[in-house]
Copies of this chain bind each other. A is one copy, B any other.
Amino acid sequence: MTTRYNAIAGQSVERLAALSDGLFAVAMTLLVLDLKVPMAQGIESDQALLGALWQLAPRLVVYLMSFLTLGIFWVGQQAQLSHFARSDRHLTWIHLVFLFAVSLMPFSTSLMAEFITLRTALLLYWLNILALGAVLYGSWRYAMRAGLVEANMSAMIDRSVEQRIVIAQGLYGLGALLCVYSTYWSIGFIILVQMIYVVGPRRGILSRI
């Protein structure tokens, strides 16, 4: 009888966190590479430069939105990892798939920045967010079932983690739907939702999401 490789692979929550931090850091910084500095040629006054930078404004907005998205999911993943007593091979792979979706974010972002009026670009961007949420939801479900979560965690935390993902994804889905009017409506709505997550209100109805 051999020891199954399953028994020794992917045990370390610490290294999973380290890989995740590294990958998020790279993805967050690569986003900005899409903000290309205007060519010096033909720009010789401050006005001309301001004009050229103004053209970049939509990209900057999209970039900000993606940074927020990655920040939100980094916080979300961190909240989960901090409650895992240990990991196993399956949980590790669930998070590697999560990181795959993270690594696609700079591409989705570039695509939306380039085709900001086309619904295809917006919907692919939303699919990327949906994938992030779905995998994170699956990670929690699996960790609960496999007994990888720390023993003394209250049931309320369980509910809170799941509830948050479901509500957030509902709001993102609503935002994506708004593209039947205009992709700008979608982007505006999604940024609004993200702002709520960033600010994290402590009271009122918004404190639940």
A residues whose Cβ falls under 8 Å from a Cβ of B: 2-12, 15, 17-19, 21-33, 35, 37-40, 43, 45-46, 49-50, 53, 64, 67, 71, 74-76, 78-79, 81-83, 89-90, 92-93, 96, 99-100, 103-104, 106-107, 110-111, 114-115, 118-121, 124, 154, 156-157, 159-161, 163-164, 198-200, 202, 207-209
Contact = CB atoms under 8 A, between A and B. Distances in A.
Assembly stoichiometry (copies): 4
A115 B2 contact: no
Given A4-B207, A114-B37, A32 B82 contact: no
Contact of A4 (B5, B18, B71, B160): B160
A176 to B, nearest CB: 14
A193 B173 CA distance: 35
Contacts of A33: 30, 106
Contacts of A8: 79, 82-83, 157, 160-161
The binding surface of chain A is classed by DSSP as helix
Contacts of A2: 156, 159-160, 163, 208
A154 B76 CA distance: 34
Given A46-B119, A100-B64, A200-B89, A26 B29 contact: yes
A27 to B, nearest CB: 6
A204 B100 CA distance: 28
Contact of A10 (B27, B39, B78, B100): B78
Contacts of A93: 71, 75, 198-200
The residue among A8, A50, A93, A163 with the most chain B CB atoms within 10 A of its own CB is A8
Contacts of A28: 23, 99, 103
A53 B160 CA distance: 38
A19 B24 contact: yes
